[in-house]
A and B are shown apart, each in its own frame.
Chain A
Amino acid sequence: MAELNLVQKRKQKSIFTMLALFAIFTLVFYITSSKTEPITFGFILGDEFKLISEWSVSSRVGSGIFMLLALFGIGLSYLGFKSEKSTTLGSVIFGLGSIMSFLCWAAAGKFIPFTGLLQAALLLAVPLIFGSMSGLLCEKSGVINIAIEGQLLFSAFISAIVASLTQNLMWGLLSAPIAGALVSLILAYFAINFKVDQVIIGFVINVLVLGLTNFFYSTLLVPYDSTWNAAGSFSNIPIPILSKIPIIGPVLFNQTIIVYIMYAIVTLIQVALFKSRWGLRTRAIGELPIAADSVGIDVNKLRFRNVMLAGLVSGLGGAVFTIGAVGIFSQSMTAGAGFIALACLVFGKWSPRGALVAALFFGFANSLQSNLSISGVALPSELMLMIPYIATIIAVSGLVGRVRAPAADGIPYSRGNK
């Protein structure tokens, strides 16, 4: 066999890692498991067509079945490795199989509303998806966006206030992208016009937004909550017929308007980035800006525009926290979602589709965690809270393989003496 290069070696290593994890999981969840209580998955959420309403399986058998799925994922990765193609799909299947197997083991004797789990997963993923699209728009054009967290938090804050004062959710929804763009304006102005270190300015923005929102929260939103912090939230709009599809129908097509906007935006970005003139130019200025400049493209103008666009997108993500879910603003409620969105961007190899999958994966891990604590699984809740983060670390570090950021990411552009 020919000598392996480093990428192949890394893939080989990740396959061995998966095999090792597989062995451990199988040992714990299946071989040594004495749990025979059945775990029951519920599949019915509302009035969708019934395909299957419940599935009950003994904990140990369920674990075994899903470990087989994980093994299948490893096999797929190996085939990908052999034919020198991607091993990512296999890794994702392995991850899902392992998580489900863990679920069967941990939730023995419990009822798991599976469709509800998925619905919550999507809902948790939506702000991450908006956030990573914001990061994508910036980084594809060469500006690092650490300020996603700030954009999300500020727009969550503003949309809640606007919706409360006007008692109109639509005004709240409109104000959110504007708030996101305002935060972007600071980033764009300092990073592009003054060429300040992009990571530092991004970080400063996050701290600034946190301080601002905390201040107004305690001085305005708490004392006058009935006028300033009573936004309410969008209700779900089921899409006729589509929402009746078993299992995925209620998950995907019985959502709020913001989720439908998300579908449209991700599709639009995916197509525009790789097919349109704007996309070609955007990718060009993120890779080799001087080349774009030499054919007459105004690099800094396009970068500025894209950073502003990114602000609009993450603004919508911010709205999800308040008017898209709980209806009120609470202190630092984004809780690091902006940083997870950034991780999703890297995990998804700077592609809209990849970031989407990564965000959904994270959303699933998160929803699983909350679901397990609600059903009273006997594991310390602190440990449970760590699951999504551990899953993300494993995913980002080992299984994605080498990813390549846009070559000019984070490097301010200036030409000669200008």
Chain B
Amino acid sequence: MPLELKGISKSFGNLQANNQINLKVGKGEIHAILGENGAGKSTLMNIVYGLLQPDSGEILVDEKLVKILEPADAIKYGIGMVHQHFMLIPVFTVAENIALGREKSKFGIISFAEIKTKIKKLSDEFKFDIDPDAIIEDLPVGVQQRIEIIKALMYDAKVLILDEPTAVLTPQETDELLNVMKILKSRGTSIIFITHKLREVRAVADKITIIRLGKVVGTQLPSASQEELANLMVGREVDLAPSKAAFNPGGNVLEINDLSIFNDSGRKVVSNLSLNIRAGEILAIAGVQGNGQSELARAIVNLEKHKSGSIKLDGKEILGSTVRDSLRAGIAYIPESRELDGLISTFSITENLILDVHDLEPAASRGQLNRSYISENATTLVKEFDVRTQSIEANSSSLSGGNKQKVVLARELSREVKLVVAAQPTRGLDVGSIEFVYEKLLAERANKKAILLISSELDEVMELADRIAVIYKGEIVGVVDSDVSREKLGLMMAGIK
């Protein structure tokens, strides 16, 4: 048994992230850990890798009890990890990144020759085609992930942990990764594969451990049905195929013409993009993260500074006006990061709910906040949007991810709007909250609002959208109807028309 966990528990404050977790990983086994966002998968793996210390429990490597206090210990015991956020230094070369921490030097000067040969050899073995002298930030995410895998193998990892490795990949890249996992397995490497995607689990796993709310709730074989796995993962029947009203679009609400956006360091992140969304329509922007979709969402409400082109809302130019004016022109904006951009964490729910109208009647009059209206408003919205909280005066930071998103939705959708811009609205949410978000977005659609949905979850895009625009390197590769095949979408996400 290369790795065994016994009774691992870990809590953060009141939150029991891991509760008496047992896990056995066999040699050459692909062991999937399946669980919803927030189920405690990453916490568990960070404990195994020495980034966190468990409150109680034991870790056994090759049947021997070990203490893993530092990542260095994990490496020593042959445990490698490919983190969800890559541990690669963007300005370093591939060789420098792989050498880091295990440098060979002569008179204090590093020699890269040996490490480069090793990289070449491993790269050839897996048909990775990696140039050891390339700079990391110039490489696509898929390649960066391969470098992470090579890095782990260079440390002679016998157990390789892959933390949500497919989140940033196109469907084709995902297939390639699954193949690499199979090759690794045939070489005798054990793999712990962390994911919440059922399809992938069933494709490669030998064994599936399902974790819910920090507890192991079952162990299954890949022959288990999709429904069985989903029900175990969520703890009840799930239906993520919401019912949509008939598609009956009206006139254009949003027209974007020839929009280009530059980031602060002057790189063009969106180039000459044109789009239109009609009333009662959901247009989804599909694409791998980091292809300009975040900037596009921010640009529509004028949060991006450097841009050119035209953005018209109901025929009126809004590009270049202030954020406040663009919102008040009739845009609901659900930002990508609710913690950073959606809410002020040290403000109460009540206050967060009037951020957008705090200077207008009836929330304020003659420069003074109208407290009674504000709390009345909060009481109504909290009820309507089913925000689970002890008190409406609680800080928004005390809420769970799903409830935070409900507060954002409540604020944004309680205004008179024509367009809803929803950037990654379900990222990191549990299934119940995802269902809620879908319901609200579809209700807005039925109300003849135009909706721009930006999402890197392909299932979500295909489920909700009426039309799908695929973005790649800041350009729209094409706009297709939602009955398009996954394969076709996958190719488009890689820039192939």
Chain A residues with a Cβ under 8 A of chain B: 3, 5-10, 271-272, 275-278, 280-281, 283-284, 287-288, 290-297, 402, 404, 407, 415-418
12 A-B residue contacts at CB 8 Å? A5-B268, A9-B266, A278-B108, A280-B99, A284-B89, A287-B91, A288-B87, A294-B81, A294-B87, A402-B266, A407-B90, A416-B46
- Determine the distance from Cα of A277 to Cα of B106 in the docked complex, in whole angstroms: 10
Q: Which B residues lie within 8 Å of A402 (CB)?
A: 265-266
Binds A, one of B68-76, B212-220, B437-445, B449-457: B68-76
Return the chain B residue nearest A10 by Cβ.
B266
- Given contacts A276-B109, A294-B87, could you give 20 more A-B pairs where the C-beta distance is less than 8 Å? A6-B264, A276-B110, A280-B103, A281-B103, A284-B89, A287-B90, A291-B100, A292-B89, A293-B51, A294-B71, A295-B72, A295-B75, A295-B100, A295-B101, A296-B101, A402-B266, A407-B91, A415-B51, A416-B46, A417-B12
Q: B39-62: contact bitstring with A at CB < 8 Å (1 yes, 0 no)? A: 000000010010111000000000
Chain B binding site: helix, strand, loop or mixed by DSSP? loop
How distant is the Cα of A401 from the Cα of B92 in the complex, in angstroms?
22
CB neighbours (8 Å) of A291 from chain B are 86-89, 97, 100
- Bound form: Cα–Cα A272–B103 in Å: 14
Cα separation A284 to B70 with both chains bound (whole Å): 18
Q: Is B306 an interface residue when CB atoms closer than 8 A count as contact?
A: yes
> What is the CA–CA distance of A241 and B100 in the complex, to the nearest angstrom?
44
- Known A275-B110, A278-B108, A417-B52; judge A297-B100 contact (CB<8 A): yes
By beta carbon, the residue of chain A nearest B99 is: A280
Q: How far is the CA of A402 from the CA of B260 in the complex (A)?
A: 21
Query: Could you say which residues of chain B place their CB within 8 Å of the CB of A3?
Result: 260, 268
Q: In the bound complex, do residue A288 and residue B83 qualify as a contact, i.e. CB atoms below 8 Å apart?
A: no
Query: Is the pair B103, A295 in contact by a Cβ cutoff of 8 Å?
Result: no
CA distance A277 to B104 in the complex (A): 8
Contact B265 A296 (CB under 8 A): no
**Total contacting residues, chain B, CB less than 8 A:** 39
Contact partners of B102 in chain A: CB under 8 A: 295
Assess whether A296 is in contact with B72, with CB atoms less than 8 Å apart: yes
Say yes or no: is B262 at the interface (Cβ < 8 Å to chain A). yes
Q: A291-B100, A416-B52 are known contacts. Are A296 and B266 too (CB-CB below 8 A)? A: no
Residue in A closest to B105 when the chains form the complex, CB atoms = A277
B267 within 8 Å of A (CB atoms): yes
Docked CA distance A272–B262 (Å):
36
In the complex, whether B96 has a CB less than 8 A from a CB of chain A is: yes
Q: Which 6 A-B pairs have the closest CB atoms?
A: A6-B266, A296-B72, A295-B101, A291-B87, A7-B266, A277-B103
How many angstroms from the CA of A10 to the CA of B306 in the assembled complex? 13
One digit per residue, 1 when the CB lies within 8 angstroms of any chain A CB and 0 when it does not, for chain B 274-314 equals 00000000000000000000000000000000100000000
CB pair A8 B91 closer than 8 Å? no
Chain A proximity of B155: nearest CB distance (Å): 8
B47 to A, closest residue via Cβ: A416
B441 CB to nearest chain A CB (Å) = 35
Given A6-B262, A10-B266, CB of A292 within 8 Å of CB of B101: yes
Contacts of A7 in B (CB 8 A): 265-266
Residue A417 contacts which of B53, B81, B97 (CB distance < 8 angstroms)?
Answer: B53
Q: Which residues of A contact B306 (CB under 8 A)?
A: 6
B305 to chain A, nearest CB (A): 10
- Whole-angstrom CA separation of A291 from B91 in the bound complex: 13
- B100 close to A292 (CB less than 8 A): yes
Report how far A340 CA is from B99 CA in the complex, Å.
Answer: 36
A residues near B71, Cβ cutoff 8 Å: 293-296
- In angstroms, Cα B260 to Cα A277, docked, is 42
Residues A294 and B83 in contact in the complex (CB < 8 Å), given A277-B108, A284-B92, A284-B100? yes
A258 to B51, CA, bound (A): 45
Complex partner residue of A5 from B12, B81, B92, B262, CB under 8 angstroms = B262
Q: How far is the CA of A89 from the CA of B90 in the complex (A)?
A: 27
Tell me the residues in window 229-288 of chain B with beta carbons closer than 8 Å to chain A beta carbons.
Answer: 260, 262, 264-268
Q: In the complex, which residue of chain B has the Cβ closest to the Cβ of A7?
A: B266
How distant is the Cα of A271 from the Cα of B108 in the complex, in angstroms? 10
CA distance A148 to B92 in the complex (A): 28
B110 CB contacts on chain A under 8 angstroms: 275-277, 280
CB distance from B16 to the nearest CB of A (A): 14
- Shortest C-beta distance, A370 to chain B (Å), equals 39
Using A295-B75, A417-B52 as known contacts, say yes or no to A287 and B105 having CB atoms under 8 A apart: no
Minimum Cβ distance to chain A for residue B245 (Å)? 43
The closest CB in chain A to the CB of B75 belongs to A296
Q: Report the nearest B residue to A415, measured CB to CB.
A: B51
Bound CA span A294–B89, Å: 12
Residues of B within 8 A of A281 (CB): 100-101, 103
Q: Return the chain B residue nearest A297 by Cβ.
A: B101
Residue of B with least CB distance to A281: B100
Alpha-carbon distance A290/B102, docked complex (angstroms): 16
Determine the chain B residues whose CB is within 8 A of the CB of A297 once the complex forms. Answer: 100-101
**Cα A293 to Cα B81 with chains together (Å):** 13
Q: How far is the CA of A232 from the CA of B91 in the complex (A)?
A: 47
Identify B105's interface contact among A5, A10, A276, A292, CB under 8 A.
A276
Distance from B260 Cβ to chain A, minimum over Cβ atoms (Å): 8
On whether the beta carbons of B70 and A296 are closer than 8 Å, the reply is yes
**Docked pose: A112 CA to B270 CA in angstroms:** 56
> Which residues on A sit within 8 Å (CB–CB) of B108?
272, 276-278
Do residues B266 and A5 form an inter-chain contact, with CB atoms below 8 A? yes
- Give bound CA distance, A271 to B86, whole Å: 29
Cα A295 to Cα B99 with chains together (Å): 10
Give CA–CA (A237, B87) in the complex, Å. Answer: 50
Residue of A nearest to B71 (CB): A294
Residues of B within 8 A of A277 (CB): 103, 105, 108, 110
**Alpha-carbon distance between A91 and B331 when the two chains are bound, in angstroms:** 46
Complex Cα distance, B91 from A272, in Å, reads: 18
Q: Assess the B265–A287 pair: CB atoms within 8 A.
A: no
User: In the complex, A277 Cα to B12 Cα: how many Å?
Assistant: 37
Instruction: Give the residue name and chain of the A residue nearest to B70 (CB).
Output: A296
Q: How far is the CB of A287 from chain B (nearest CB, A)?
A: 5
Tell me the complex Cα distance, A14–B92, Å: 29
What A residues does B12 contact at CB under 8 A?
417
* Cβ-closest chain B residue relative to A402: B265
Task: Report the separation of the CA atoms of residues A417 and B47 in the bound assembly, to the nearest whole angstrom.
Answer: 11
Chain A residues in 8 Å Cβ range of B266: 5-10, 402
Q: Is the CB of A416 within 8 A of B100?
A: no
Partner of A288, one of B52, B81, B90, B267: B90
With contacts A280-B99, A416-B51 taken as known, whether A295 is within 8 angstroms of B268 at the C-beta atoms is: no
Given the known A-B contacts A276-B108, A284-B100, A296-B75, are A290 and B92 also in contact in the complex, defined by CB atoms under 8 Å? no
A residues in contact with B89, CB < 8 Å: 283-284, 287-288, 291-292
Taking A5-B266, A402-B266, A417-B52 as contacts, is the C-beta distance between A287 and B92 under 8 angstroms?
yes
CB distance from B145 to the nearest CB of A (A): 14
Chain B positions within 8 Å of A418 at CB level:
53
A5 touches B267 (CB 8 A): yes
CA distance A297 to B89 in the complex (A): 14
